Amino acid sequence: MNDLPQTFMEPILFKTAASRGAQTRMSIEYLSHTQDNDGVTTTVRDRLSGREFEIRSKYLVGADGANSKVAADAGLPFGGKMGIGGSMNIVFKADLSKYVAYRPSVLYWVIQP
């Protein structure tokens, strides 16, 4: 399991997959999958046209977040309660060193009082 914001993970996955010859698509919604000894058949929907189709692949990567339908369909367990809180990632660049120099970290929270 990985906790990397989609804004960072998605470009890495796209670039790496494309560099290895994979076809990449945007606006595609996962619906279901079946696995056999030779790979995975995934049923998806094009969100722009509404068309449903199947994709055949060696692997299926579920990078669809904490409430992952891919992980649920694969029967992967999640510990603890899910969906009890909400959050939003906002990515910006700023020199905040004068505010955080006393406490180095890789993650900081900005909370509205």
- Residue 73 three-state SS: helix
Q: Give the integer Cα–Cα distance in Å for 113 and 107.
A: 19
Question: What spatial distance separates the first Cα and last Cα of the chain, rounded to whole Å?
Answer: 31
The pLDDT tens digits of the residues spanning 76-105 come to 887 777 667 777 777 788 898 898 889 888
Tokens of 21: 């010859």
The pLDDT tens digits of the residues spanning 23-40 come to 888 899 999 999 999 999
Q: What is the reported pTM?
A: 0.66
